[in-house]
Amino acid sequence: MTTPLQIWVEEQAKLTKPDKVYWCDGSEEEAHRLIEIGMKEESIAGTPIFRELNQKTFPNSYYHRSHPTDVARTEHLTFVCHPDKETAGPNNNWMDPDEAKEKMRGISDGCMRGKTMYVLPYMMGHPQSPYAKACVQLTDVSYVAISMRIMTRMTRDVIDKIGSREDFVKGLHSVGDFDPNKRFIMHFPEENFVWSVGSGYGGNALLGKKCFSLRIASYLGLREGWLAEHMVIMGIQDPRGDTTYITAALPSACGKTNLAMLESALPGYKVWTIGDDIAWLNIGADGRLWAINPETGFFGVAPGTSMKTNPNMMRTLKKGTFYPTLFTNTALNTDTNEPWWEGMDGAEPKNLVDWQGNKWDSSMGTKAAQPNSRFTASTSQCPALSPEFNNPKGVPISAIIFGGKRTQVKPLVVEGSSWQNSVFLGARMGSETTAAAIHQEDVVRRDPMAMLPFCGYNMADYFGHWFNIGKRLKRPPKIFSINWFRTDDKGNYIWPGFGENIRVLKWIVDRAHNKVGAKETPIGLMPHLKDLDLSGLSIKKENLEKLFGLDVKGWQREAEDIKVFFEKFGDRMPKEIWEEFYKMKAKLGGS
């Protein structure tokens, strides 16, 4: 009997016309075979798809170089195609679904000619989790097939699980000829379908990640009563041995991976990693919020990663198991055949080539590693991986953090005073833009809940959904905002960050358990300095004022910017958001 899955695959093959169709089983043997093929295959960047790295120091690691125009997410080419434009909202690019499909059919006709179409059956979430979803992605590049095997649970069992069902999650991906003019990432939320052509880059091509687990899943969550969020999930173990689970949403390249596995600078505290990018949050029978990480891998920013900043990630990258580890667009040390990037430990190696293969040294004034160069590694290799990682139920969440990168105005930590105030606190977040997407960097943009590029529907409805979730929670988590990136008058970061961030997490955990007080301010609750362990840090008084004080003038300007953003949502915006906005504005005073 032919199944809907087989029929769907056949239809896509008819359109894209690959030479071969190959159904992956996710096995180790298969991964090796695909890497072998990739090492012989010429990629469009003029180098093989995979190149073996030093197997002694980076076991089972491979290097990949992407097309030079294809190094980050392309938000301007990403569309959410609901039948009705209003459902997509001002936060998304929209195209009519029929028109979008017509356009994509034109671009995709014969796009896999001469290539193999890989059929990737995978689960997002543990197969025994009631929240897991069965998915199939088609792709024409071994790099994507191998990446998906690291990032998801890919097995043949998924095909049996789908059986004769039609509601599996579908992804059709082709790198095409990498022509930026024929590059589109189209989402069809009503059909659980993502169609992406022209890019091999992570968030554009690994369709289980941002495309499904955030954009499509967030819309599923709206209809089914749960949340799909751009969040870290972690456990914080205190000196008594009790572990408190929290989630944290930060925009792309603003510190999630580092936070998720931080090595505590405070004695007695230990962080347990569950996820570094995506959390699915469901309301449990106990009225608490429970989180699972649908992924099984880290697709993390390489530059800045070192034994000083993120020792657990360095250990993860060098662990070497039967899962391959990939390095994409980093520089290469040609003496040792090791990957290299800015911020790595030790002196600058003598013989380096940059991410495009040109001989490089720092006197040239360019970057050796592409600023958004990344590694792909299995979570199973992380020494801080939580024993709860594979728990199908997930973990109960006691606190939620929203953050961003703000060199000015925003203090180190603020707490929402109620659920309504906290949703507003998440909605008002802004962040300076980074290299994770192609756009102008270092400009402040509003990025509610770090979801601006990932919410698959109108964000006004999204805020409403957060209010509704709050009403259903019997024991809601407390909600906080953080900012590690405030600078001093010379432009240097004031807060030491990384492992020292545990000091702020400790305060957050103490607040979650009602162990310490806080003071009311116009923007929310802020810590009494005596409750924060700042021992051993030497932060100048004027800088402490920047971290823990309230810049009233700055916040008055901030309020104006927030208002302009909120007004885009017109009448659809929940009145509770405006209520909280005007309360804050009145307390801040001024015009």
Catalytic residues: 254
Q: Is 209 in the site for ligand SPV (CB under 6 A)?
A: yes
Span from 109-117, 171-179, 202-210, 484-492 in contact with ligand SPV (CB under 6 A): 202-210
* Cβ atoms 53, 160 nearer than 8 A: no
- 209, 256, 446, 465: residue in contact with ligand GTP (rule CB under 6 A): 256
The Cβ-side half-sphere exposure at 313, using a 13 Å CA radius, reads: 32
* Cβ atoms 330, 340 nearer than 8 A: yes
589 by Cβ neighbours in 10 Å (0-12 / 13-18 / 19+) ranks as exposed
Span from 98-106, 248-256, 352-360, 570-578 in contact with ligand GTP (CB under 6 A): 248-256
What is the smallest separation between the CB atom of 76 and ligand SPV, expressed in angstroms?
15
Query: What H or E segment, with its residue span, contains residue 459?
Result: helix 459-472
What is the smallest separation between the CB atom of 232 and ligand GTP, expressed in angstroms?
8
Query: What H or E segment, with its residue span, contains residue 584?
Result: helix 575-588
What is the smallest separation between the CB atom of 359 and ligand SPV, expressed in angstroms?
29
Of 202 and 221, CB closest to ligand SPV: 202
Q: β-pairing, 193-197 with 169-174?
A: parallel
Q: Which does 304 bind (CB under 5 to 8 A by kind): Mn ion, ligand GTP, ligand SPV, none?
A: ligand GTP
Q: Is 255 in the site for ligand GTP (CB under 6 A)?
A: yes
**Calpha distance 198→181 (Å, rounded):** 8
Of 258 and 398, CB closest to ligand GTP: 258
Q: Is 253 in the site for ligand GTP (CB under 6 A)?
A: yes
Query: How many Cβ atoms are within 10 Å of 28's Cβ, its own excluded?
Result: 13
Site for ligand GTP in 531-550 (CB under 6 A): none
Query: How many Cβ atoms are within 10 Å of 315's Cβ, its own excluded?
Result: 16
- Reduced to 3 states, what is the DSSP secondary structure of residue 131? coil
Q: Is 149 in the site for ligand SPV (CB under 6 A)?
A: no
Site for ligand SPV in 57-86 (CB under 6 A): 73
- 263, 277, 432, 580: residue in contact with Mn ion (rule CB under 5 A): 277
**Calpha distance 288→284 (Å, rounded):** 5
Of 216 and 588, CB closest to ligand SPV: 216
CB neighbour list of residue 71: distance below 8 Å, 6 or more residues apart: 201, 329, 370, 372, 373, 438
What is the smallest separation between the CB atom of 235 and ligand SPV, expressed in angstroms?
21
* Cβ atoms 81, 94 nearer than 8 A: yes
- 18, 38, 125, 202: residue in contact with ligand SPV (rule CB under 6 A): 202
10 by Cβ neighbours in 10 Å (0-12 / 13-18 / 19+) ranks as exposed
- 92, 243, 252, 434: residue in contact with Mn ion (rule CB under 5 A): 252
- 74, 147, 296, 501: residue in contact with ligand GTP (rule CB under 6 A): 501
Q: Which does 73 bind (CB under 5 to 8 A by kind): ligand GTP, ligand SPV, Mn ion, none?
A: ligand SPV
Of 209 and 428, CB closest to Mn ion: 209
Task: Please report where in the chains the tokens 């997002």 appear, as a residue.
Answer: 124
Applying CB under 5 A, the residues found at the interface with Mn ion are 252, 277
Applying CB under 6 A, the residues found at the interface with ligand GTP are 250, 252-258, 276-277, 300-301, 303-304, 309, 436, 484, 493, 497-498, 501
